[in-house]
Each structure stands twice: as C-alpha cells, then as structure tokens.
Amino acid sequence: MKIRDIKTFMPYVGRRKQLVVKVETDEGIYGWGESGLSSREQAVAAAVHHFREFLIGKDASRIGALWQEMYRSQYFEGGRVLTAAISAIDIALYDIKGKALGVPVYQLLGGKHRDYIPLFATTTGRTLPELIDQSKLLVEKGWNVIRTGIYSSKPGDRTSDGDPIYEPRESVATTAEWLNKIREAIGSEPVLGIDYHHRLSVAEAASFCQRLNSGTLDFLEEPIRDEAPEAYEQLRRMTPVPFAIGEEFSSKWQFLPYLERGITNFARIDVCNVGGLTEAMKVAGLAEAHYIDFMPHNPLGPICTAATVHFAAAVPNFSWMEIRSSPTEDLGFYDPDLFPVQCEQDGSRMKIPETPGLGVEFDEAVASRREDPEPSGRPRGFLRRRDGSITNA
C-alpha cells in the first residue's frame, strides 16, 4: 500500500484555523491528521508539502521508519514546525493502517487500558461571580476536574494601538484571591487547576503560589516559559503546588529533563505537536518510568481529539484529557458539518471509538468553502504591559 498523495486543508473553525492533513494511498484508503501549531499553519503546511515530495510512493504501513525519514534525513532535525507537520502525517498513517487492518488505532498501540476517557473542563468567566457559577454548574453536571483561567485585564483595557493589556502582578493578586474563593464555593473534592499560559516570571509565579490557601490548587499549568528547565527547577523549590507542563514540547528529548528531574507532575503532551502517536508512545514509556501521568493538551478539533483519545486509551499512566466543549464552554471546534463523523462525548467522559482507524471523517467540500484568506488565520493582537512592552501571549 503506497502513499499516492498528501493534501492540506486550512479551514477556519470556531475561533481559530485548523490545519488538516489527508494522506491518500494507491489502494483507496486514506487517513486524516492534524497539526497542533496554532497560528503557524502556513509554515507547517509548507513543511508537509516538503515531506510529500519524498513520501509519495513509500509504503504507508512503515510508520516508524517514515517517522525517522522525516525527522532525521534532512540534517536540521526537529523544531516545532517540522514536528507539527510530522505529527499530522504520522496520525494520518495510523488512521490508514487501522482502516486497512479493520481495527481502531488504540489496538495498534497495544490495546486499551480503560473503557472511557475522563475529561476536564475549562471555565470561561471574566468575573469572580461568573467563575463561581460556572464551577458550581460543572460540579452539578458531574465534572470533577475543573480548570479555570487567569485574570488578565479589565474589559476594554487596551493600549492606544488596540492591543490588550496584561500586567502580571495585577493578575497574580486577583487570580489568587479568586481561586481561594472558588475552592470555598465548590468544596474540597473536585480537582481544581489553572492555566497561566507561561505569562509569569519565576518570582511572579512564586508570589502567586504563596497567596493561595493550602489545598486550593491541584495543578498549576505552564506558569512560566519552558525553554530553561533550570528556571522551573528554581520555581519547584519555592512551591509545593503540582505542575502541569509540556503542551509546547516537540519531542521526547524536550520532555526528558522535565521527567528525569522531577520538574513536572502531569505531562501535558500534545500528540499534534510532539511528533504524532509514534513519538507520544515513546514519551509515555519515559513518563511511566518516572511515575508521571498524562493530562493531554487538546485545544483543536475532532481529529486531534480522536488521536488523543486513542493515545489515552493505550497508556497506563493517564489522568484526564482536555476538552473544549462543556456546559460552560463550546468554542465551535467540533463542527458536525465539517466533521460528520467524530468521537462521541458523554458528559465528562469521551467514548473510545471502536470503528477502524481514528473514527473521524472530514468534509473536504465544506472545508473548501471555509478557507481563511489570512495567511495565518484571523489577526490577533499582542499582549502588552501598561508601559507598551510585549509580554507572553
């Protein structure tokens, strides 16, 4: 079964563009994949087309060997653009192989460890009363893992150029106060976490943790940028709050210091960034050896969700999977017109598909009508501090 063609699609779905990849074979079997490098879709699509030139005619069943060819054969290995492209192609190849053998993808990964995938939901409120109401609603609806967002700025608080303002110290003070009150409102049983989207320094993150009541947070996600593991080690010594890190990691090598040196407590792997299912399963073994569970990053659409579900089913060390569709948040990423077949959500659980392959389909005709004319999706403003300087997005 030879690869006949590789195609890319970049429709706008919900609030962001999605880069979908289709791998076709000479036997008529095709597979779907998705890239996770949001807002860099054009760069990733170019990398996919680069790989296409030497993948056409290759045996689609040799997934591991093709991964090595894509990663190692061009001298300048790795990087987020290249591994995002590899991820999409790799996932599509697993979809093809599952369909060819008549089995769901998780069977190719060793079979399933669980009967369903536990999910966590994210609140969207901009005020404390909204956050408390949404958190209580999630608990009432059976969600026992809740992630909330940070205080960023007051509505309409922008620079003269129209960019939103974000001041870390203002955020730290307000967010810590709000989290303490959310915990009081929902009680001690639900898991409560927060995503700081790497917007703090070490000192700011430590100050934030010191303002929290004991037992308020069960995980702190991406408080600082991840380029320097030593900075996270410094922060690790300053707070007992568990860390959830890894959504931007693009290889097992990038994960390695965070696993070996006990820096992270939950691995936020993104199968559409890390190098697809082939690389994700290697990270899974490293994490299991260090008693670290996965809490996968899943902010995209049904293809990313399906690939993540199969990964989550096949690894023993797993906690919860991110989902962007809940009683308090639905960003429109799971459009049934564009994705007529997709994984089925059952409240705070995701059912594991039993159909061959990933269990997802994509409508190319609908996608062609949704192509976004902007080179990298809709324009997004930069985050700036009050003095006009750029800060982390």
Distance (Å) of CA 180 to CA 174, 175, 193, 284: 10, 9, 12, 33
Indicate which residues carry an active-site annotation: 197, 297
Beta bridge partner(s), residue 121:
146
Contacts of 353 (CB under 8 A, 6+ apart): 104, 306, 309, 310, 343, 344, 359, 360
Distance (Å) of CA 49 to CA 44, 46, 85, 242: 9, 5, 9, 40
How is residue 166 written in tokens?
A: 């974000």
Closest C-alpha to 87, from 51, 42, 39? 51
**C-beta of residue 278 within 8 angstroms of C-beta of residue 72:** no
Query: What angle, rounded to 10 degrees, do the helices at 276-289 and 63-72 form?
Result: 90
